[in-house]
Structure 1
Amino acid sequence: MTRQFHKMHGLGNDFVILDGRTQAVAMTAELARALADRQLGIGCDQLILLEPSTIADVKMRIWNHDGGEVESCGNASRCVVALTGAETLETSGGIVAGSSKGSGVEVDLPAPRFGWDDIPLSYPMDTARLPMAWGPLTHPLALSVGNPHVVFFVPDERIIELDELGPSIEHDPAFPDRINVNVAALREGDIYLRTWERGSGLTLACGTGACATAVAAIVQKMVTSPVRVHMRGGELTITWAPGETIRMQGPATHVFKGEIELEQFA
């Protein structure tokens, strides 16, 4: 059976989007991994499946490049809002509100959580300064913005060998659900960020990573809200105050649509 898909990206963080609202798609880890394969499939960082929702305009499910299903994706949220016109998205990480904003899209992610069991960690620790280190990366702040993140502030994010350090941090036993790893530097009041995404590796941009890093910088009084977060694929504007949800504004780009026979990947 031929199914239509859309290829979209947010700052180079790219997605294959399948619409299962009127005709269900039996997604599995194996199928998601096959579709995400850049040589043998369509190719993407994350596979997005839209489903009916009883509590929002649409339900959005997310599989990383390795086939693991995850809770939240900020860049994908903007793309789904742009594609469908939905104003509310149901995700495993909470309800995301969205709307067009000038030439881009703004989404409103759930308020960050800082409890060790909210992230989660394997045992109680001070999430504002984890007593942990991996080479030059030490004492990160840990939080959940719908999915789990650690944030390291460094003098220059460009010189950190994140392709080597990222996997060991992601799979550290302290993080039972694995973890997204952010290294960031401050220059002229803006944040410059690189992210190792669990299940996807280094990507051109990470929306929830930008949100987590902005929140961490605001909590530590390094920057004021709103703040621009620069990544290899471009920049996002993040707005947050303690006790509030996180607003993220940036582009959502439709690349092409196509058709594929899912059975050939089963």
Structure 2
Amino acid sequence: MTRSIKFTKMHGAGNDYIYVDTTRYPIENPEKLSKKWSAPHTGIGSDGLVLIGRSDKADFSMRIFNADGSEAKMCGNASRCIGKYLYDYKLTSKTEITLDTLSGIKILKLHATGDKVDTVTVDMGIPSDEPVNYDGKGSKPMTEHPIEIDGIRYTGTTVSMGNPHLVIFVNDITKADLSSIGPKLENHPLFPDRINVEFAQVLEEGKIRMRVWERGSGVTQACGTGACATAVAAFLTGRAGRKSIIVMDGGTLTIEWDIATKHVFMTGEATKVFEGEMETDEEL
């Protein structure tokens, strides 16, 4: 038995996901469906699947499944797209929305022109320590860790933005072979739950070029939590101030680490690519 599910493909700075309103189209097995739909040639093609649902804690809820079927706790680009989805499809008239995620309640501030949202600011919360197995002595929170891969020594800063990140600053980002080194760092023994990896280069004051290997998805055009982690790491290591412009393959985000609240605020565009309908087996 098959049934049709309506979806919308959206991207934030090139980080593209498939969005489904589960209040209309319940999905029983999102892990399998995310793998099937995310495939670039036999599916829709995306970095994963995002489910929009109800919540008894917030206005709406968000669940994120990577292209390999694993579930992520948080995605900044996806949360911005959800804000646009809800407003543009008239599921809400609010310009400030609370969103229930696995990493807590996030607040979205929508910046609209007429009846369409252009950009969204997300309160990403307070960055926290990312525990690692470091020399068997526990974690060294948000500090620089030496890691050796294939005889090459890297120094990375670990930061959690609701999901784990390893930020490595380099002098020339064009020399970073992300597709080769990314999976090795993601699965390094230091990180028992795997980790997202960012390579970053400070271009000029306030501007940082960043590329990302996402846990469970591989090389992607952008990563919202990764941009936040990069901005935090840049401040902690004295490479930037509290406000940074993060330039990624797919676009640019503005990240500000507020000194008063200690919260990180991310602002960027959200874009609808297309909408469609897919038939799927009920067993999915």
- With normalisation by structure 1, the TM-score equals 0.93
One-letter amino acid matched to 1:14 = D
Summarize deviations over 1:47-67 as a string: whole Å, max 9, x none: 101121011111100000111
Partner of 1:126: 140
Structure (1 or 2) with the larger CA radius of gyration:
2
Matches within 5 A, 1:1-266: 1-85=3-87, 87-101=97-111, 103-114=118-129, 119-122=130-133, 123=136, 124-127=138-141, 128-134=143-149, 136=152, 138-189=154-205, 190-241=207-258, 244-263=262-281, 266=284
Worse-matched range after superposition: 103-112 or 16-25: 16-25
Change (3 A) 1:137 1:258: farther
Aligned pair count?
Answer: 262
Asked whether the 8 Å contact 1:151–1:181 carries over to 2, the reply is yes
One-letter amino acid matched to 1:78 = R
Structure-1 separation of matches of 2:46 and 2:128: 29
Q: Percent identity?
A: 40
One-letter amino acid matched to 2:212 = T
Alpha-carbon distance, 1:136 to partner? 4.4
Give the match's secondary structure for 1:173: coil
Structure-2 separation of matches of 1:61 and 1:237: 24
Asked whether the 8 Å contact 1:19–1:49 carries over to 2, the reply is yes
Summarize deviations over 1:76-110 as a string: whole Å, max 9, x none: 01000111136111111121111223631111112
Summarize deviations over 1:20-78 as a string: whole Å, max 9, x none: 12442213322210011111111110210112101111110000011101101110010
Give the match's secondary structure for 2:35: helix
- With normalisation by structure 2, the TM-score equals 0.87
Give the match's secondary structure for 1:72: coil
Give the match's secondary structure for 2:42: coil
Change (3 A) 1:137 1:56: farther
**Unpaired stretches in structure 2, ≥5 consecutive residues:** 113-117
Structure-2 separation of matches of 1:173 and 1:15: 29
Asked whether the 8 Å contact 2:35–2:48 carries over to 1, the reply is no
Summarize deviations over 1:216-260 as a string: whole Å, max 9, x none: 111222111221000111110000035621110111000111111
**Unpaired stretches in structure 1, ≥5 consecutive residues:** none
Structure-2 separation of matches of 1:41 and 1:265: 17
Root-mean-square deviation over aligned CA pairs: 1.7
Change (3 A) 1:99 1:137: farther
Alpha-carbon distance, 1:137 to partner? 5.1
Structure-1 separation of matches of 2:283 and 2:250: 30
Asked whether the 8 Å contact 2:73–2:163 carries over to 1, the reply is yes
Structure-2 separation of matches of 1:205 and 1:137: 25
Give the match's secondary structure for 1:146: coil
Structure-2 separation of matches of 1:19 and 1:138: 42
Asked whether the 8 Å contact 1:101–1:249 carries over to 2, the reply is no
